[in-house]
Structure 1
Amino acid sequence: MDLVVEKTSLKKYYKIAFALGVFTIVYNVLEGLLSTHFGYEDESLALFGFGADSFIEVVSGLGIVHMILRIQQKPDSNRDDFERTALRITGSAFFALVLGLASTGIFNLWTGHKPESTFWGVVISLLSILVMGFLIYGKIRVGRQLNSKAILADAECTKVCIYMSIVLLASSGIYELTKFAYADIIGTFGLAYLSFKEGRECFEKARTDKNCSCDHC
């Protein structure tokens, strides 16, 4: 009887983990669409770059959902080819984003370009912090119930998304309040730095079976 209850409980938590993974993908798609739209309309490079990062996270999210299905079937299995490919694609996209943000940021610095507004950067970053906080809490709780190092590591790495949101919030908030000319550019370089770290981590994980290579893991 206890074994049946345990299997039912495990199945329940794997369903929750899968739902959190799917929610992450859907949310990142919506966040990416809104951020790139308002970033383009308001000429905020930091917000546009934040949206581009959200689209990259969709690819990463597909790999995470696949991982959850894999460990549900084989809890002790290692990362498979699908996940490694998703990591390489994600890492390459992050490095391309770094190049785009850095080069455009330097151009904006040279020309003295300033956003029309960063209001939506404040709104979207605040929403992102709340949603990512909820996801981290949910992933940690599920990971502990399943005793899954992979899911717990994913929760830790999700914190990078909060760091990005904080960078966007700081740069957008400062510009909106003070009109400090370089706030958006500084935020852009901050996002580029975090994107570089994420890209490097993706390639490291693709080469190994480590669950997470974040500095804080």
Structure 2
Amino acid sequence: MNNPDTANVCAASNQSRAGLLRCGLNLEYVTLGWNVVGVVVVAVAALQAGSVALAGFGLDSLIEIFASVVVVWHLTESKRHNEKLALRLIGVAFLALAAYVIVQTVYILIAGGRPAPSVLGIVWLAVTVLAMLLLAWGKKVTGRQLDNPVLTAESRVTVIDAYLAGAVLVGVALNALLGWWWADPLSGLVIVYYAITEGMAHWREGSNVTGQQ
């Protein structure tokens, strides 16, 4: 798997459009690789601990994989005339994440599940926060240099991934350190507002793109 320092290399260099496109793709490939590994790690941790927050974060990683695939498809499309559909697909992914987190959190609070502490989950989440922030910064700068709304929009997906990792980290850590079991499912709700806001924003951005099929 590539190193997140790719973000620094891409954003810092003064490159041609072709070079910037390669950087954008490399950033997406790093994100894809990280999240593919993350889905496995978080799934193991969630099953071991019975954690709704970790399960929700695993779903977020799947959505991030989907968003990265959408952007790779867009950047490698020869005519790149797919901004409207690409932005709308990312928006739908955000809204799906928000719906899942709400339903799952309400269910676990009603059922009164008691998740166990997860050292594996805590370590992975802490590292993921840093990695996603670096990748998001690289995507944002590269997207602006390319004047590419899809890559810029997906940088916000990656920021949301970092926020969610941080929120879930707090909940999982409070459960492990203080035994506050309810902090685990409630931590997943932190991202709901951001997911709904960004989902609607991406959908509107897609609707505002003109002259494309």
Normalising to structure 1: TM-score of the pair? Answer: 0.75
Q: Name which structure has the greater RCO, CA cutoff 8 Å, separation 6+.
A: 2
- CA distance in 2 between partners of 1:140 and 1:92 (Å): 20
Distance apart, 1:91 and its partner CA: 4.0
2:45 equivalent in structure 1: 38
Equivalent in 74, 80, 96 of residue 67 of structure 1: 74
Counterparts of 1:137-152 in structure 2, within 5 Å, are 137-143=137-143, 146-150=145-149, 151-152=151-152
Point out where structure 1 has 5 or more consecutive residues left out of the alignment. Answer: 1-7, 211-217
CA contact (8 A) 2:116 2:176 kept: no
Equivalent in 32, 52, 64 of residue 59 of structure 2: 52
Distance apart, 1:48 and its partner CA: 0.6
Normalising to structure 2: TM-score of the pair? Answer: 0.76
2:121 equivalent in structure 1: 121
1:109-140 Cα distance to aligned partner (Å, 9 max, x none)? 22321111232332121121121122123224
Counterparts of 1:145-184 in structure 2, within 5 Å, are 146-150=145-149, 151-184=151-184
Specify the SS of the correspondent of 2:188. Answer: helix
Distance apart, 1:149 and its partner CA: 4.8
- CA distance in 1 between partners of 2:154 and 2:86 (Å): 15
Larger Rg: 1
Distance apart, 1:187 and its partner CA: 0.8
Distance 1:29 1:201, change over 3 A: farther
Distance 1:20 1:185, change over 3 A: same
2:31 equivalent in structure 1: 24
Equivalent position amino acid for 1:44 in 2 = S
1:134 equivalent in structure 2: 134
Point out where structure 2 has 5 or more consecutive residues left out of the alignment. Answer: 1-14
- CA distance in 2 between partners of 1:104 and 1:141 (Å): 35
1:67-116 Cα distance to aligned partner (Å, 9 max, x none)? 3335xx66xx7x52xx5445545444544443333233223222321111
Distance 1:192 1:140, change over 3 A: closer
CA contact (8 A) 1:121 1:168 kept: no
Aligned Cα RMSD in Å? 2.9
1:146-205 Cα distance to aligned partner (Å, 9 max, x none)? 352534444345322221111111111211111112111211222344333343334323
Query: Which 10-residue stretch deviates more, 194-203 or 55-64?
Result: 194-203
1:40-74 Cα distance to aligned partner (Å, 9 max, x none)? 2210100110010110121211221233335xx66
- CA distance in 2 between partners of 1:188 and 1:108 (Å): 11
- CA distance in 1 between partners of 2:50 and 2:64 (Å): 23
Identity of counterpart residues, as a percentage?
A: 25
CA contact (8 A) 1:46 1:191 kept: no
Equivalent position amino acid for 1:169 in 2 = L
- CA distance in 2 between partners of 1:89 and 1:184 (Å): 29
* Corresponding residue pairs, total: 196
Counterparts of 1:182-197 in structure 2, within 5 Å, are 182-197=182-197
